[in-house]
Structure formats: C-alpha cells, structure tokens
Amino acid sequence: MGPQVQDNADTEILPPVREAAAVGSGPGSESYAGSVASVRELHKSFGSFQVMRGLSLDFQPQAITTILGPSGTGKSVLLKHMVGLLEPDSGSVRIFGKDIWAMQERERAELRKRFGVLFQDGALFGSMSVYDNVAFPLRKHTDLSEAEIRDIVKARLQEVGLEAAENKAPNEISGGMKKRAGFARALVLNPEIVLFDEPDSGLDPVRTSLLNDVILKVHAEDKGTYVVVTHDIRTARKVSDYVGLIWKGQVVYYGPAKEAFASEDPFVRQFLAGDSVGPLGMD
C-alpha cells in the first residue's frame, strides 16, 4: 500500500482545507484564468544547470495559489520570473495579458509597482523603524503627503497587529513580527498580485498560524491574486484556493485545494506524506 495522505487519522490536528474561490463569470472564474498572471513554457538555466524546464501555469485571479515542491526545484526562481527580476531563456511570463519581456524596462518597472513581494526574511531595512519601512514604498512611488501616508501606514500596521511596534527597529522585534512588517510593506501600495516566498519559514506553528490568519484576512479584504511558496502543509491547507506542485522546473500537479489534498496523484501523495519513496526523487 502507498503512503497515507494526512487526511485520515490526523485530520483533527490539521487545519481544514479551504474551498476554492468561486468559479463563475468575472474575476476568479476559469475564463479569467491567465489574464492576471500566466507563465508559458518557461525555460531557464544557470550555466549548464537547467532549473526551469518548460513550466506553464495560469494563476487563478483573486485566488490564493500555493506552490509546493521539493527544495531546489525552482519555486523562488519562478517568483523572480513573475516579478521580472529574471529573464527566461525561452517561454513567456504574461502579467495582465502582457509579455513582460516584450516591454521596455520602464514599463516593467511600472508593472512591478502592481506587485507586492514578501521575501523569506521580510527584507526590512535595518536602519529604519517599522513605520518607516512600511512608509518607504509610498514615499518612493507616490506623491502622497506625510499625513496621507500616516493614515495608510497606521491602517496597515493595525491590520497585522503591529501598531505598538511602529517605532521599533527590525532588530528589536521577533521573526514573526518581521514577517508581519514585511507583509504590511508588501501590501502598502494595494498590489494586485502578491508573491510570498515562504512566509512561514523559521516560525513556530502558532506564529505560522497567526501569519496565515493575517494573509486570509487581508486577502478577503483586498482580493488580490496571491502566490504563496511554502514547505508547510498546514499553511497550504489553511490558505490555498489552488495548489501547484513543482518538480524539476515543471508543474507536476495543479488543482483546487480540496482536490489536491484528497488526490491520488502519486507526486501529491508522496509530497504530502513526506515519503522518501515515490516519483519525487532526489536526483
């Protein structure tokens, strides 16, 4: 018998899987798929090392898509392509229907403002307070007055439960608080696409769960297209509308979360069960 997917005996201690975002007409529907973010036949090598091997994926608009996959399989490289920090060797990345490498660098820079990106460590500026970190994109990219900026920053900090920490420096706050500050900063320009690279790395299960609550709450309010890279099955169960499993630079499984966590697909079963035996080899 194959590995047991953790949907049987352990169900009580795992968070429930979310229902996929409603499918109908308009944003969130199948017919909109790909119009916000679409990756086609993406190939990328670093020297002789081939990382992306023809990856294709249409991200469901206004839904949270979780990207799972073994270490070193290209998840971060995929996010970097999506935000235009890496150029494909071949294939395309279309954002809001436009190939981002068929446009001028100036247009690409404008497009990046419509993204919020949360890197693994929150990537806060160490010399700035939490408040100034969150205010930074507004000061850099908008003409808003300091009073207007204050209103937005305060609201974002309140949303992530960091009002009391606004004057603290990053080295004075915990890892979980840094993530939440990074999250507030990533969202401050109301991005339509938000990319999270392992928002839960280095956090204990309770802080991971709290951060996931914040992700769900803000997503429910802002309705962006979210992409979450994670190794944490609990995070994936809790936040995903859709799940993509990547292996060796290709998508080996993609589907609504409910289907993914009940799937008999051998890649999915092995990954969710953390089994060393199966199609996801180490080579």
Ligand X SMILES: Nc1ncnc2c1ncn2[C@@H]1O[C@H](COP(=O)(O)OP(=O)(O)OP(=O)(O)O)[C@@H](O)[C@H]1O
Q: Which residues contact 54 (CB under 8 A, 6 or more apart)?
A: 41, 42, 43, 91, 249, 250
Using alpha carbons, select from 176, 258, 254, 192 the residue that is nearest to residue 226. Answer: 192
Query: Which member of 75, 156, 179, 238 binds ligand X (CB under 6 A)?
Result: 75
- The residue (of 18 and 81) whose beta carbon lies closer to ligand X is 81
What is d(CA 200, CA 23) in angstroms, rounded to the nearest whole number? 28
- The residue (of 67 and 157) whose beta carbon lies closer to ligand X is 67
Helix, coil or strand: residue 75? helix
Token pair recorded at residue 129 = 């307070």
Segment interacting with ligand X, rule: CB under 6 A, options 74-82, 93-101, 140-148, 202-210: 74-82
247 close to 54: Cβ distance less than 8 angstroms: no
Phi, psi of 166 (to 5 degrees): -60, -30
For ligand X, what does the binding mask look like between residues 160 and 199, x meaning CB under 6 A? ----------------------------------------
Query: Which member of 42, 51, 214, 268 binds ligand X (CB under 6 A)?
Result: 51
Query: Which member of 60, 73, 133, 230 binds ligand X (CB under 6 A)?
Result: 73
Using alpha carbons, select from 108, 43, 100 the residue that is nearest to residue 74. Answer: 43
- The reply to whether 248 sits near ligand X by the rule CB under 6 A is no
- The reply to whether 76 sits near ligand X by the rule CB under 6 A is yes
- The reply to whether 57 sits near ligand X by the rule CB under 6 A is no
Q: Which residues contact 21 (CB under 8 A, 6 or more apart)?
A: 28, 60, 62, 63, 241
- The reply to whether 46 sits near ligand X by the rule CB under 6 A is yes
Number of residues that bind ligand X (CB under 6 A): 10
- The residue (of 79 and 124) whose beta carbon lies closer to ligand X is 79
What is d(CA 41, CA 22) in angstroms, rounded to the nearest whole number? 27
What is d(CA 146, CA 135) in angstroms, rounded to the nearest whole number? 9
Query: Which member of 34, 61, 74, 84 binds ligand X (CB under 6 A)?
Result: 74
- The reply to whether 71 sits near ligand X by the rule CB under 6 A is yes
Segment interacting with ligand X, rule: CB under 6 A, options 14-22, 71-79, 88-96, 133-141: 71-79
Segment interacting with ligand X, rule: CB under 6 A, options 68-76, 141-149, 237-245, 266-274: 68-76
Binding site for ligand X (CB under 6 A): 46, 51, 69, 71-77
